[in-house]
Amino acid sequence: MPDTTSPTVEFISIAKEFRHEYVVEKSRFITTVYPCSTEEDAQSFIARINKEFWDARHNCTAFALGPKQEQQRSSDNGEPSGTAGKPMLEVLKKTGITNVAVVVTRYFGGIKLGAGGLIRAYSHSVAETLRLAPKELHTTRIQLQAIIDYALYGTIERYLQDAQLHYEATFGEKIDLTILVPPIDIERIQKELQDMSHGAATCNVLDAIEVVLPLD
């Protein structure tokens, strides 16, 4: 039986590359975020954006890698020291989103923003892009098998949907459900399925697996 007592290591990342533009005082701040798991991936992404926006005044960068953001880097790319890369990285740290690289491309609009204005603009650009980007949860789930009669399917399906538990159903003589359950909830879910089926459901705890779940 898998260990259901060990703490689950989980983190939130973005689901795919995403871009958002913010304009302040005629300066364009084009933020691109990218999911990555290694520094090599992050640097390759940064190089690609630098090539795409080769004519921009600045391509400032930040990335955080690892479940607890153990690896962090940032660059002001010619902006005054501490006005771009560091504020961008601070947004990543504040949100906790990891395994992500960010490039904010700035096209100067002719009006100087000052140090405070730059910090606010770069911070807002990253925060808003991360808010809008599709995100996903990387976590551990226990596979719980539940074999049930067809008569129980409607009731148990509603229960699983209300509990926001991901599952797959295989239809044969009976219905074979494979339910992904947080380790901390495994005993409770088993009991509730047994109670709901008046003991008719056959439940088996299978393996613990790493999963990626979409977040709304």
For residues 111 and 155, state if they share a domain. no
Compute φ and ψ for 180, nearest 5 degrees: -95, 115
**CA of 196: how far to CAs of 44, 155, 178, 199, in Å?**
52, 8, 17, 8
Task: List the CATH number of the domain containing 114.
Answer: 3.30.230.30
Domain count, the chain: 2
- β-strand pairing of 100-107 with 71-75: unpaired
pLDDT above 90: percentage of residues in the chain: 87
CA 49/CA 17 separation, integer angstroms: 12
* Complete edge-to-edge strand list for the sheet that includes strand 27-35: 18-24, 27-35, 100-107, 58-65, 71-75
Assigned domain for 8 exists: no
Q: pLDDT per residue over 90-127, tens digit each?
A: 999 999 999 999 999 999 988 888 999 999 999 999 99
* Tokens 């995100």, located at residue: 135
Its domain, for residue 156, covers 138-215
pLDDT(6) > 80: no
Check: CB of residue 24 under 8 Å from CB of residue 135.
Answer: no
pLDDT mean over 82-87 = 96
- Give the residue from 79, 109, 133 where a domain finishes: 133
Assigned domain for 3 exists: no
pLDDT(2) > 60: no
